[in-house]
Structure 1
Amino acid sequence: MKYDSYENLKITKDDNILTITINRPEVRNAINEGLHKEFGRIFIDVDADEDVDVVVLSGSGSAFCAGGDLKWLLDMHGNVAATAVGIKRDRKIQHSILDLEKPIIAKVDGPAVGLGCSLALYCDFVYATERSIFADPHVSIGLVAGDGGAVMWPQLIGYARARKYLLTGDAIGAIEAASIGLITEVVAEEELDEKVAKMAARLAAGATHSIKWTKAAINAGLRVTADAIIDQAAAFENVTQLLDDHRIALEAFQRKEKPKFTGR
């Protein structure tokens, strides 16, 4: 499998371990249309790569992923066709991660926000530095949490805690995230690379078919839940992408102001 066509994702392979690095450090790895398209196919390509048994997902620079690029979101606002395409791709991203039997390790150093947070939480292991934060602030920009947050947060930390974060958009620090089971472990910044490398090597040297199929068995129930949620959450998000409140929020954030929602 060749990965030469990827521009926003840096792909490297070491024996049977594949590392995917989100490579837009100048904008804290914010997701634009190009990166979104690449996430729509990368896990399908990895699934087809018979030489890969373990995946590591990381960000470049000072962030894991800062969420959606404001310019891209503004460009899409009110465009029914464009928003529908984006939402369809969101669903494809979620399903392709859940369908991937190869274990995925998220290496998080810095903010993991919005879709970036969902990408991390869909991984099987999430190791994060103390300075990392996790947030699904869709409601803060007038959107429904349709790209994975409504699926993963309740499954990982329960409905009461999930409501606290999804209905407010508040961020959670890595230490608290680990303490309530949202992520796997907090690791010292200078030890993060080694920690992830050791776990990746351990999985890669293990009984890979047993590991893959155990993951598939674990994910079987999650997939049933996800199938019940993803389409509805995505549809609601698509509608909110067309509302005034979403535009108001994006323009306010561009001006570094607090949005004044109208409920329309």
Structure 2
Amino acid sequence: MSAHYDITAEKWERFTFERKGRVLTAYITSDHPVNGVDEAMHTELALVFNCLQRDTDSDLIILSAKGRAFCAGGDFDWFEEQIAHPERFRAIGWDAKQIVVTLLQMEKPVICRMNGAAAGLGATIALLCDVIIADETAKIGDPHVKVGLVAGDGGALIWPQLIGFAKAKELLMTGDLLSAPEAKALGLINYAVPAAELDAKVDEIVGKIMANPKWAVRWTKTTANIPLRALAAQMMDASIGWESVSNYLGDRKEAVAAFKERRAAKLTGE
């Protein structure tokens, strides 16, 4: 028998955990107003899904967040550091791949309780979960292109699989955000419900899954994810590579500066 492991016994900077029986809720938790991804969060995202899988006392994971957003993409101060020091962007490539791969490798079912906005990497993480239940006021999108980056950390992988290539490429190339009801209508997420009903809907789905034999559920999910894991193996090295290249470009620097200064970007095509 494998040794007992309790994820809550570890020290985490950007996650907190709550147990309810064999269900474990993992909350993205930070001081950032919309749970933007900084270096500490990115590092922990590359570790947490392996640890959630190993956690001995849980059979189902609910992934959510504290605060008014789920995870609204990269932190702009961190973006500026990456632009000024491109080697720091290059250094996170391995972790970027691990976030996608380890989430897809999890056998335990993962329910996304999308309590607020999910953008960029935050949207990728939400969409790689098995069932996504959102507050109907939340928005979701992958606006990497708006800040001069390739949508390389999983967006180009998962969006076309969920809603087809035509609509996915439109949304990835425009960077437009969808309301939760729009995302539900497209089949991007499973449910969009009023905030007051979010927990009840999550509990309903959790109850249905937990009422079934554990290993039948786990291995059904594992089998269903085989094509996604294969696609990640085909795509992630190249997509992260292209994203790293885009971090060097002049329009990347200008797009981030314009966003922070609340003005239109003066793009040059470089």
Please, what TM-score do these two structures have when normalized by structure 2?
0.94
Greater shift after overlay, 144-153 or 5-14? 5-14
Do 1:25 and 1:61's aligned partners in 2 also have CA atoms closer than 8 Å?
Answer: no
1:245 aligns with 2:261: no
How far off its partner does 1:245 sit?
1.3
Which runs of structure 2 are paired with 1:121-200 in the superposition (5 Å)? 121-200=127-206
Do 1:63 and 1:109's aligned partners in 2 also have CA atoms closer than 8 Å?
Answer: yes
1:227 aligns with 2:233: yes
Do 1:8 and 1:23's aligned partners in 2 also have CA atoms closer than 8 Å?
Answer: yes
What is the aligned partner in structure 1 of residue 3 from structure 2? none
What is the aligned partner in structure 2 of residue 109 from structure 1? 115
* Selected match of 2:16 from 10, 17, 21: 10
SS at match of 1:20: strand
How far off its partner does 1:204 sit?
2.7
SS at match of 1:101: coil
Greater shift after overlay, 56-65 or 116-125? 56-65
- For structure 1, which runs of at least 5 residues remain unmatched after alignment? none
Structure 1 runs (4+) deviating above 3 angstroms are none
* Selected match of 2:209 from 197, 203, 209: 203
SS at match of 1:146: coil
* Selected match of 1:90 from 83, 91, 96: 96
* Selected match of 2:79 from 73, 76, 80: 73
Greater shift after overlay, 44-53 or 194-203? 194-203
Deviation per CA, 1:8-32: give whole Å up to 9, x if none: 1112222211111111254211111
Please, what TM-score do these two structures have when normalized by structure 1?
0.96
Amino acid paired to 1:236:
W
* Distance (Å, rounded) in 2 between the aligned partners of 1:250 and 1:174: 26
Do 1:178 and 1:184's aligned partners in 2 also have CA atoms closer than 8 Å?
Answer: yes
* Distance (Å, rounded) in 1 between the aligned partners of 2:248 and 2:105: 30
1:31 aligns with 2:37: yes
How far off its partner does 1:259 sit?
1.5
How far off its partner does 1:198 sit?
2.5
What is the aligned partner in structure 2 of residue 119 from structure 1? 125
How far off its partner does 1:80 sit?
3.4
- For structure 2, which runs of at least 5 residues remain unmatched after alignment? 1-5
* Distance (Å, rounded) in 1 between the aligned partners of 2:177 and 2:34: 17
Aligned-residue Cα RMSD (Å) equals 1.3
Do 2:255 and 2:267's aligned partners in 1 also have CA atoms closer than 8 Å?
Answer: yes
Amino acid paired to 2:220:
T
Deviation per CA, 1:209-263: give whole Å up to 9, x if none: 1000000000001111222111111100011112221111111111111212222
SS at match of 2:71: coil
Deviation per CA, 1:182-228: give whole Å up to 9, x if none: 00011121010111122223323321110000000000011112221
Structure 1's 214 and 185: CA in aligned 2 closer, same or farther, altered over 3 A? Answer: same
What is the aligned partner in structure 2 of residue 21 from structure 1? 27
Deviation per CA, 1:154-197: give whole Å up to 9, x if none: 00000000011001101111111111110001112101011112
